[in-house]
Structure 1
Amino acid sequence: MRRRYLSGQAKTICYVAGIWLCVSVGICGVFANSEINRIKEEFSLQSEATYEIVRQRLDENDAVLAGIDSLLQTFPEADPKGLREYSHEMLVRYPHIYMVELQPRVEAAQLDRFESWAKATIDPHFVVKDFGYGGQRAWHAARGRAVYYPITFMEPSAEAAHPVLGLDVYADNKFKSAIDQTIASGRPSVSAPFDLFEGGRAYLIFKAIYARAIEPPSDLASAGRGKTPGVTDVATRVVSLLIYAGKFLGPGELSPPTASLRIYLQGYQRDDPLGLVQKTSARPKSKWERAVFPELIFSRTLSNASQPFVFETRRQLGIDVLRPLPTGLTLVGTLLILLLASTAYGDKIAARAAVRDARRRLFGEKEQALVTLQAIADAVITLDSKGRVQFINPVGERMFGIEHYQAFGKFVEEIVDIEFDLAHAASQSPFERALATRAMVTLSDNSFVLRRDGQKILIEGTISPVFDQEGALTGVVGAMRDMGPVRKKAIEALRASEQRLQERQDELTHVARFHSMGEMASGIAHELNQPLSAILSYNQACVRLLQEEQLDLPAIADAMRATTEQAKRAGDIIGRLRAFIAKRPANIVSLDLRQSVANALELSEPWLGQSQADVVIDSTSDELIVRADAVQIEQIVLNLIRNAVEATEHLPVSQRKILLRLRAVDGSGVLSVCDTGPGISPQARLKLFLPFHTTKESGMGLGLSICQSIAESYGGKIIELSGDSPGAEFRLMLPLQEESGTAYAN
């Protein structure tokens, strides 16, 4: 009997052990799968973040190279000090950029003269040289070749790096191919990676700087594609960035020790040392771990045309996917449940575990809620059903100007004073309203908190009631946000937008002045031809007088004085034109509208003479002082006169009449421009001031639109009047300036 009992007990133990073993394997598999999925997601996020950091570094390289390229293209003879200051600022900002170098293109025939210049301006010991023949790490005089690209500028300019000055980078094949590529394409190119003497991997980014040359260079590799026949774009120098790949990632950005990282050139294998830019290895795993657990791989080509790299991270999973503590606890709990499933003690254990878990969750929820209230950017205040303060988060302490321990237990009216702008009568406190109505109260847009020190803080937010399980009101929670910074940002954005709009308006106004000058080109040429012809005649007369035996000095002097007057006349014409079309910011001053009309007539004199139109000026004797930019007002007047002349150019000469009338009307200076042309049709009148609408065959459709914008910017306007008389009438109305210096509002 004893043997049977022991046998049955052993069988039960075997059954329980077998079931427990199967369950344990299943649980371990579930835990392992869950952890693998978590690690996969974490690995993917970390790899994506690291990829974005590396991609950003590559974009920073392009940005710095583009900045130096733009500086050298804009200022070809730029002071090295300015380039050095810019390079130093970029090196400080981007630590992974190890050095900025500049290599001019030197042909063999120019080598001696170039070295003499470099010794005088760069370094007394400067010489073009090579480094390391036959595997020897030593300096050698540069071998004979058609073209050299020696280093003449380095930043940082360390004392220990001075021997590198004069090194011909074109002698190294891995650099030569990159230089040839950037010269041929005009785009940045990278060299093959190499080891730094200080340790770590690096590579160079080259960018060719072009200049125009009439004669092609001796080596066709230095010539770009010229767009003008007979003119060749020559790569006169090359700028390069030495990139230290080991500093792509900062201390907090490196991959975890469980993952490996590879960055290598496209077209190379991941472990090929010739194309390897950066490499970090993870701790090795055992063979059985590599056989059982998967390897996570993240590989992506970096989206940078000038630096064609492949980014790859790998992580070999191992036994660490089974977390010891939760796995062990789960297996032990499973064994206990199997052994004691039929006993009341097992029920009690399960119940106690459930209570502990509930308490833990409750504590965790409370802690999470408290941390959330402490961390959010809104001010939060909680009251009990009597209106006494129970809690204020740190943002609320700063907003209300009181610490939490000082406010606890006090009535909210003693702590928080919420008022409303433009309120005619005292309003009920939103806290009292929420407690009374048992409903959420939304603060209006004109709400503000009045602090004890008198400061007003514009706010928005809500006051919400809180109920218990039985529906009884237990208090309210107020959440308020300081709207001052938001409004400030909105105002700043509006001002920036207005500034950009003004800049576009100035550009368009400048273009319109150029267009006006283009249409007046023939008249201007005729006007300039008169003084130039007179100068020629007087000079020829002087030559004849000087060739005579008896010199007539008074006649020669009169001819020379006449030549001077005609030259001054031509200079005055050109000066007026340059002042009119010059690109400059608006200079708002007090000016007489009558003088602006006179200046515009003087500027259009050649053009008016050519059209033979009869211009009549009917002006008041009083000053018409307005506040505006003189050139812009002259532009408006010139445009209106030009429109009137063009409207009458198809009429007989005797009928070409233009009337300019200047008056002061209701606090405004008014200029009326009337013509005897065919007038404006009702259809054209509807779109008269719209941009890009014109009735002229070669018109831009911007003249009246720009003039209207200029007039409106000074508080005025341009109107078109229709009447029974033939022709058209346009009126420019600008507010007159008062004696105090302000202008009438029209």
Structure 2
Amino acid sequence: MSVGLAPAADRLIVTTEADWNDAWYLVCMKVSTIGFVVVDARERVAALDALRAAGITDISGYLDAHPAVADRLRHGMVILDVNEAAVRMFGAAGRADMIGQRTQRFFDPLCTAQVNSARAFATGATAFQQQAHSVRLDGSRFETLFCVVPRADGATSGLWLASFVDITEHVQRQTSLNTLRDELAHVARISTLGELSASIAHEIGQPLSSIGMTAGAMLRLLDRDNLDRDLLRRQCQRIVDQVARAGDIIDRTRRMATKRDSVRTLVSVAEVLTESVQFVRHDLDRIDVRFSLACAGSDALVQADRIQLQQVFVNLLMNAIQIHRHARTMMPEIMIETSDHGASVVIDILDNGPGIDPVNAERLFDGFFTTRAEGLGLGLGICRTIVAAHGGSIEAGARSHAPGARFSVRLPLHRT
């Protein structure tokens, strides 16, 4: 195959070496900020064709099951030409340092971009883009936005054009912002736990009190002449159960207080809400709140950090409780309702308190804004940040047909 491009009626076709100076090529090669690489992908195209000829239709699944084949595809591309931006980006002395090398030399061994591009083109894609872990000639790593398109229609010629944009600084800034967000979230959790200290102490006190009473009863049983072993066994089991309950409370509190990296898993919205209510149960009881939790579609699942979602709902519940406490609401109510909206689930936290002051409505989610003298003003701002990081949204407003406030959290649903 000759390498080069010449203009045809409405497209560009592969022809001879002398035609590399046509317009599209000049534009790409002269760009000073984007690294362009012309790639000979004939080996990869031939390998994919061989898989199809063997009757394999699910090429993506086949590559998952045969990592050696996927690795061969990573090695199946050779660099034909590069522009000066690519030379600088990859730390080469000149174009000759890169031309003729196989492309995997410039990707981290664990980077999936090359194999994923093969999957994409095998299923009919006309372009591919992914963040990639790239490697300079001196071995140093950096982050790029990697894009590749087949130069000719259908990707059958094997002449592909790849581009690299160095996004290392952007990734570092994003990492710093995520770290700052997690730091603020941790501060807000500690603040919330401080407000919940009476509730936590009460929760732990209940099983400890039960353990003490049961142990006293066991001592009295041991003083009897006719020892009832079955009753003694039941009392021992009661102590074991209460110890487990106290341990669960301590573990739950420790998880909320621990500073750690965000970990996202598939979680049940109903379970997270139930766990969040456990944190504030004593505070609900202290002001005699009539509380209800109604989960429509209790099997709703979201991809989320369980502790961060708990933080959001605990904070919203605590705000509602404090509003009732300060306003001295007659017959206070707090309701949680969930509803399925196709691609998302909406969780509404409703109360029958005085509602949201219109003067404060626009500033409600601003950092360090608070209407309470003892408040830090971090809670609602962190709630919005956490929800947004999960691809969702949060809003506040008045209830539709009753007095009070409504906070609505919308999260994308995980569909199996």
Counterpart contact for 1:613–1:656, Cα < 8 Å: yes
Deviations 1:132-154 (A, max 9, x none): xxxxxxxxxxxxxxxxxxxxxxx
Residue 559 (structure 1) aligns with: 235
SS at match of 2:261: coil
Aligned equivalents of 2:250, 2:180: Cα separation in 1 = 27
Residue 83 (structure 2) aligns with: 457
State the 1:454 CA deviation: 4.0
- 1:614 partnered with 2:290: yes
Deviations 1:640-670 (A, max 9, x none): 1111111112455752101111001242110
5 Å-filtered alignment, 1:517-556, equals: 517-556=193-232
Residue 333 (structure 2) aligns with: 657
**Structure 1 unaligned regions, length at least 5:** 1-412, 431-441, 461-479, 740-746
Counterpart contact for 1:613–1:653, Cα < 8 Å: no
Aligned equivalents of 1:538, 1:577: Cα separation in 2 = 25
SS at match of 1:590: strand
5 Å-filtered alignment, 1:333-344, equals: none
Residue 648 (structure 1) aligns with: 324
| Structure 1 letter corresponding to 2:382 | I
Of 713, 717, 731, 2:393 maps to 717
- 1:732 partnered with 2:409: yes
Inter-CA distance 487–456: structure 2 relative to 1 (3 Å threshold): farther
Aligned equivalents of 1:554, 1:676: Cα separation in 2 = 50
Residue 67 (structure 2) aligns with: none
Counterpart contact for 1:693–1:702, Cα < 8 Å: yes
Inter-CA distance 449–688: structure 2 relative to 1 (3 Å threshold): same
Of 516, 519, 528, 2:192 maps to 516
SS at match of 1:545: helix
Aligned equivalents of 1:604, 1:694: Cα separation in 2 = 21
Aligned equivalents of 1:527, 1:596: Cα separation in 2 = 18
Aligned equivalents of 2:283, 2:403: Cα separation in 1 = 24
Residue 375 (structure 2) aligns with: 699
SS at match of 2:253: helix
State the 1:553 CA deviation: 4.0
Counterpart contact for 2:297–2:339, Cα < 8 Å: no
Counterpart contact for 2:327–2:354, Cα < 8 Å: no
SS at match of 1:704: helix
SS at match of 1:695: coil
Aligned equivalents of 1:595, 1:445: Cα separation in 2 = 49
Aligned equivalents of 1:456, 1:708: Cα separation in 2 = 45
State the 1:694 CA deviation: 0.7
Residue 70 (structure 1) aligns with: none
State the 1:729 CA deviation: 0.5
5 Å-filtered alignment, 1:230-629, equals: 417=21, 419-420=23-24, 454-457=80-83, 490-621=166-297, 623-629=299-305
SS at match of 2:167: helix
Inter-CA distance 493–604: structure 2 relative to 1 (3 Å threshold): same
State the 1:677 CA deviation: 1.1
How many equivalent pairs are there?
Answer: 291
Of 305, 308, 311, 1:635 maps to 311
Counterpart contact for 1:446–1:458, Cα < 8 Å: no
Residue 236 (structure 1) aligns with: none
| Structure 2 letter corresponding to 1:661 | E
Aligned equivalents of 1:570, 1:623: Cα separation in 2 = 28
Aligned equivalents of 1:448, 1:579: Cα separation in 2 = 47
| Structure 2 letter corresponding to 1:417 | N
Counterpart contact for 2:270–2:299, Cα < 8 Å: yes
Identity %: 29
5 Å-filtered alignment, 1:147-186, equals: none
State the 1:572 CA deviation: 2.0
**Structure 2 unaligned regions, length at least 5:** 1-16, 41-78, 87-94, 96-133, 137-141, 145-164
Inter-CA distance 620–642: structure 2 relative to 1 (3 Å threshold): same
**Higher RCO, 1 or 2 (CA under 8 Å, sep at least 6)?**
2
SS at match of 1:720: strand
SS at match of 2:299: coil
Q: TM-score when scaled to structure 2?
A: 0.61
Deviations 1:391-412 (A, max 9, x none): xxxxxxxxxxxxxxxxxxxxxx
State the 1:511 CA deviation: 2.0
Q: TM-score when scaled to structure 1?
A: 0.35
SS at match of 1:689: coil
State the 1:520 CA deviation: 0.6
| Structure 1 letter corresponding to 2:21 | D
Aligned equivalents of 1:648, 1:636: Cα separation in 2 = 19
| Structure 2 letter corresponding to 1:618 | A
Deviations 1:478-497 (A, max 9, x none): xx9xxx99996951121122
State the 1:720 CA deviation: 0.9
Counterpart contact for 2:196–2:279, Cα < 8 Å: no
Aligned equivalents of 1:455, 1:605: Cα separation in 2 = 67
Counterpart contact for 2:143–2:167, Cα < 8 Å: yes
SS at match of 2:238: helix
Deviations 1:360-392 (A, max 9, x none): xxxxxxxxxxxxxxxxxxxxxxxxxxxxxxxxx
Inter-CA distance 513–418: structure 2 relative to 1 (3 Å threshold): farther
Inter-CA distance 560–445: structure 2 relative to 1 (3 Å threshold): closer
State the 1:721 CA deviation: 2.0
Counterpart contact for 1:418–1:448, Cα < 8 Å: no
| Structure 2 letter corresponding to 1:499 | T
Of 667, 679, 682, 2:355 maps to 679
Aligned equivalents of 1:487, 1:631: Cα separation in 2 = 30
Aligned equivalents of 2:342, 2:397: Cα separation in 1 = 18
Inter-CA distance 509–539: structure 2 relative to 1 (3 Å threshold): same
